[in-house]
Amino acid sequence: MNFNKTLFFIVFLLLGPKLKAQTFRLKRPVPENVQVYGNYLYGEERFWDANNAHRGIDMLISYDTVYSASNGTVAFVGYNPNNKTGGFEPNGFGNYIRIKSKWNNKDIYIYYAHLTKPIVSVNKNITQGEPIAISGNTGNSTGPHLHFEIRENTYLWNANRTRRNPELWFAKNGMGAIYGNVPNAPDNTRINISPDPKPRPPYTTFVWAETYKFSDPTISGDDIYNENYAIGDVKPGTYTITALNGNYKRIVTVKAGEVVNADATTLVERNQISEKFILLQNYPNPFNPTTTIQYTVPVAVKTLHATSQLVKLIVYDALGKKVASLVDKQQVPGNYKITFDAKELAGGVYFYQLLLNNIIETKKMILAK
């Protein structure tokens, strides 16, 4: 790879405004010593209803003060159980508060559920950090906790793709968060992270992540992050994230207060991925009967998202007849190495061609038999 181009690209990645880590949008609604229950994540399969997902996060809190995470207006206070009042909240929130707020010029609705006692009333204007309730165990709850949920654009409980993962909206002081998108991952694919990213105390269990259960139509990634997994309350440091038996692997560095894209950061860490689609000369060449072909799938520079792209690597004989298809699948940006075995073919000149979107690169190789 051309060193100057690579260097330029690294500098671009480091300075490019799109890559700049995002920051948190809200303030943590409960005291700093309260943990998020790591075994019941946003987008995880709902333990009492396998067709749906957990649409918020749970914070283990024992009858303590809940503070507003945002500025806004109180839109609802009270019970609204089990479809008896028009079907707004058929999900056992118990005693809850809904606060209407704004983010990025959009309406967002923040839910504080299972409360013992709300201490604000409808239509009150709320300042971020203001006490609004005492948490509790009302509704469909197996122990005292705060269920915190964010909906965007509408508060209707069954509206499509309205939920957002609160773990990317706030954190404990001094912590960051990581998000990413594992291409083609089934819902609820386990995401491992090492070393252990969580501050202890207050966390007591090891925390991993899962890709979201998008088969629940209310679940969504973020407007900006477009993630399918997230890890919140991450201690500053460098982490390795893996999924799908290591087929997805990212190395990411997080600082306090940052929300970091694992897929983009990896590009800096690896510092090998080009902005250009590169097909290298095979080696050895001439060959008999195997040779290695290397190529690079570039990052989409406009978004800096390491989204997968359809890649094809095809071998043709000298007459243009297709003799082998070596790659035909979605691949994330990165460097790839393919072994071509030509033991069934006659000696002579062959061409290998790489296709990605509307880019085509072709090179010649010689099978010497």
Residues forming contacts to Zn ion in the complex (CB under 5 A) are: 58, 147
Minimum CB distance to Zn ion, residue 247 (Å): 31
Tell me the β-bridge partners of 361.
354
Nearest to 180 by CA among 248, 118, 271: 248
Nearer to Zn ion, 116 or 335 (CB): 116
Separation in Å, CA 186 to CA 191, 243, 244, 245, 310 = 12, 11, 10, 13, 18
Nearer to Zn ion, 12 or 37 (CB): 37
Minimum CB distance to Zn ion, residue 147 (Å): 4
Nearer to Zn ion, 45 or 58 (CB): 58
Minimum CB distance to Zn ion, residue 53 (Å): 11
Separation in Å, CA 148 to CA 85, 225, 230, 357 = 22, 20, 16, 41
Minimum CB distance to Zn ion, residue 259 (Å): 22
Nearer to Zn ion, 58 or 89 (CB): 58
- Grouping H, G, I as helix, E, B as strand and the rest as coil, residue 267 is helix
Nearest to 237 by CA among 259, 258, 252: 252
Nearer to Zn ion, 58 or 167 (CB): 58
Closest CB to Zn ion: residue number = 147
Nearer to Zn ion, 58 or 152 (CB): 58
Minimum CB distance to Zn ion, residue 98 (Å): 15
Residue by residue, DSSP assigns 188-250 as T-EEEEES--S-TTT--S---EE---TTSTT----TTT--SEEEEEEPSEEEEEEEGGGTEEE
Q: Which amino acid, 330? A: Q
DSSP label of 167? G
Minimum CB distance to Zn ion, residue 54 (Å): 6
Nearest to 264 by CA among 20, 8, 6: 20
The CA distance from 55 to 45, in Å, is 9
Nearer to Zn ion, 114 or 198 (CB): 114
The rounded radius of gyration (Å) of the Cα atoms in the chain is 25
Minimum CB distance to Zn ion, residue 56 (Å): 5
Nearest to 299 by CA among 279, 273, 278: 273
